[in-house]
Structure 1
Amino acid sequence: MEIEAAVVDAPGEPFRLVRLRMDAPGPDQVLVRIHACGVCHTDMVMREGALPVPFPCIFGHEGAGVVTAVGPDVTTVEPGDHVLLSFHSCGTCPACADHQPGYCGEFFPRNFLGGTEPGQGAIWRDGDRIAGNIFGQSAFATHAFAHADNVVRIDRDLPLAILAPLGCGVQTGAGTVLETLRVGPGQSIAILGAGAVGLSAVMAAVIAGAGRIVLLDRHHHRLDLGRELGATETVDDMAKLDGPFDYVMDTTGVPALLPHAMEKLGLRGTLALVGAYPPGQTMPVDPSSVMGTGRRIVGVVEGGIDPRQFIPRLVDYYRAGKLPLEKLIRTYPFAAIEEAFHASETGAVIKPVLIMRDD
């Protein structure tokens, strides 16, 4: 089958929309006609070569679409099902068995190497394989191969373009608050960064019944939206962040902020590291201040959730009006992918979503 995909040929190069050839799905594979895909910060990091992904490559890991075919052993979805796509995991390691697939022992190869198993379908350009399985999907394309473990079926009346970001950015922010930290009624949380992850965390903190919800960002239009979504206070500088807090959640990926974030924690407070931190950085910590106060530091991947269990909860919150995702999103036609990336990189748009087809 012939498809169209946005291919990056080498680190730092632009996207090129090209025609490629796709095999039929093999074992464990689900062929999805992509209707929409969110643009995530991790896509930008991978495109620049800051993560060891293979090139040429198809990125995109917040896909949403309709199943058109399944491999011979797939029984969880069938052609015609509307699905959201998330990250890929092995399903058998201790973390996966504990419904924590974000910490799968094979997380890196299954999500960043973009390959397929022997006997599975692949994507080709002039006889050469293209890395077309990033995060188990590579959804910057009209069609993508997903897997039985990373497709979540949703009702057909739901808007695919609005719900596409549930597969990564939204579940990361909301999952960190609701599942990893388990913020309780009346508790306080400071959220550093008002991107899609941070604003999803704000909405989740409201759902959890948190007391103080303080949002920090340099972009005032994002802080305005944060207040609209439920933040009780907003600040544009760490010096203005008035603790102590039960929880501090960093989504910025800026290591220099972390020592200050630790200082804002109260007794037995928890700092959640959610950002994409540059490798090799260090964080100065006074062990006595951690021991003497019962503070904790926790790393979080994808919110610490199981997408097949958690995404349906997020859909229910959306239906109930508690997760107004449309306020974060601006849609772009697939051909405007470079424009969508620029809008995200500059902070002008919180969550760009590419539309591959409208039907």
Structure 2
Amino acid sequence: MRTTVVLVEEPGADFTFAEVELDEPRADEVLVRIVATGLCHTDLTVPTMLPAEMMPTVVGHEGTGVVEQVGADVNGIEVGDHVVLSFRSCRACGPCQAGDVGYCEQSLLLNYMGMRADGSTTMKRRRDDGESQTVFGSFFGQSSLARHALAYADNCVVVDKGLDLTRLAPFACGFQTGAGTVLNVLDPAADEPIVVFGAGAVGLAAVAAARGAGVETVVVVDPVPARRAVAEEYGAAVLDPAADPGESGGSVEERVKALTGGGAAYAIDTTAIPAVVLQAQHSLRARGLLVALGLGAPEYTIDAIDLLQSGKIVRSSIEGEADPLRTIPELVALREAGRFDVDHLVTTYPFERIADAVADAAAGVVVKPVLVWGE
């Protein structure tokens, strides 16, 4: 079938629109008409890392939509279902069998290589010279920066048809990662303070989850006033890392410790800035835990003396240890119960304004841009 996609033609290039021929769904695939797609930092960074041989490509991994066709081997999903599309996992390897689907042994192939597991691709387009050209996709098993996407039972989460799909798109990755880190990795008690570095979609989802879970003290560190203001709406204490230490009460670490009674029990970094990760480590109390979530810097500097003398832990997490088939319904239920208040973090854009969405997100004007197809 012919459909419209948002292409990246070469590494580092801007998004452009194109018509492609999308395969009919195979026996294990689900064809989804995309309603909305969240724009994630990963959609911007991964295309800059791919080799030219994997271009042009279609990314997008926070899709929501309506099922139009279902392969013969797919169970539990029907035509007309409303779905949230998340990351893929094989469901058969050791980590998957243990419930750790984010650490699937086939994760690289299923989510990042631009093709199906058997090496076939799902899209082609006709070039100006009349020749057929392969278009790489299958990004997170969806490539949902498109009007239609092929997905799978393992990354296709059925949701109530009465829910607004434009608000649920970020549950596929950004909100799932932030909230999952709090609920699945930290599981904090009410009196265990949390500090979050970076008040983007992931960081604010973590704040929303922590406050919804009853955590009494949450501190947010971010240089953008508008994002600090959003964090304050959740009841978080906020710090401007650019503030003069002499006028603001000390370094970032000192101010966090003052607000948390000697140091946070948990820290979350979403910035991927090495100096900020080090601040996060130094903001912890003894035996505190830092979870680094940001994607960007290839190396971090860790204070080994502080680590060895304090029993602190520094670790990462993939998608907040979430299994989308379980975690997304849980987060949707928390949202409906008023314990995961994230709707106001979303700003919608028509797909044709994708360049504006990218610019606004980079400038901190919006927290979470979501692209929506018109009729």
CA offsets 1:28-62 (integer angstroms, 9 cap, x no match)? 21110000000001111023x13558210011110
Which residue number in structure 2 is paired with residue 220 of structure 1? 225
CA contact (8 A) 2:111 2:140 kept: yes
Distance in 2, matches of 1:202 and 1:119, equals 40
- Distance in 2 between residues matched to 1:150 and 1:57, nearest whole Å: 20
Deviations 1:10-45 (A, max 9, x none): 012121111111111013211100000000011110
From 170, 174, 182, the counterpart of 2:175: 170
- What amino acid does structure 2 have at the position aligned with 1:230? G
User: 2:115 corresponds to which letter in structure 1?
Assistant: G
| Residue-by-residue CA offset, 1:218-264 (whole Å, 9 max, x unaligned) | 00110001111231x10011823322010010001101222222111
Could you say which residue in structure 2 is the equivalent of 1:284? Answer: 302
Distance in 2 of aligned mates of 1:220 and 1:119: 46
2:246 aligns with none
* Match in the other structure for 1:269: 288
Please give the per-residue CA displacement for 1:276-321, whole angstroms capped at 9, x wherever unaligned: 1322x242331x5323322111111111111110100110111122
2:81 maps to what in 1? 81
Counterpart CA distance in 2 for 1:277 and 1:164 is 23
TM-score (norm 1): 0.95
Q: Which residue of 1 aligns with 2:329?
A: 312
- Contact 2:83–2:157 at 8 Å: present in 1 too? yes
Q: What is the one-letter code of the residue matched to 2:303?
A: V
Paired with 2:51 and 2:228, the residues of 1 have a C-alpha distance of 34
SS of 1:315's partner is helix
Q: Which moved more, 1:8-17 or 1:216-225?
A: 8-17
Query: Residue in 2 aligned with 1:260?
Result: 279
Among all aligned residue pairs of Structure 1 and Structure 2, give the percentage whose two residues are the same amino acid: 40
Equivalent of 1:182, from 187, 190, 206?
187
Which sits farther off after the overlay, 212-221 or 237-246? 237-246
* In 1, Cα distance between equivalents of 2:50 and 2:217: 36
Residue 120 of structure 1: CA displacement? 6.9
Distance 2:56 2:9 in 1: 4
SS at match of 2:49: coil
Q: Distance in 2 between matches of 1:323 and 1:260?
A: 28
Deviations 1:187-239 (A, max 9, x none): 100000000000000001112211210001000110001111231x1001182
Count the aligned residue pairs. Answer: 354
Q: Is contact 1:45-1:51 (8 Å) kept?
A: no
Residue 346 (str. 1) matches residue 350 (str. 2) = no
Q: 1:52 to 1:121 in 2, by over 3 A?
A: closer
1:50 matched residue in structure 2: 49
Q: Show the 5 A alignment for 1:38-187.
A: 38-47=38-47, 49-50=48-49, 54-118=54-118, 122-126=122-126, 127-187=132-192
For residues 202 and 172 of structure 2, the distance between their equivalents in structure 1, rounded to whole angstroms, comes to 12
Unaligned 5+ runs, structure 2: 127-131, 243-250, 258-262
Distance 1:284 1:311 in 2: 33
1:121, distance to aligned residue in structure 2 (A): 7.2
Give structure 1 stretches of 5+ with no counterpart.
Answer: none
RMSD between superposed Cα atoms in Å: 1.7
Query: Distance in 2 between the 1:186 and 1:28 partners?
Result: 47
- Secondary structure at the aligned position of 1:58 is classed as coil
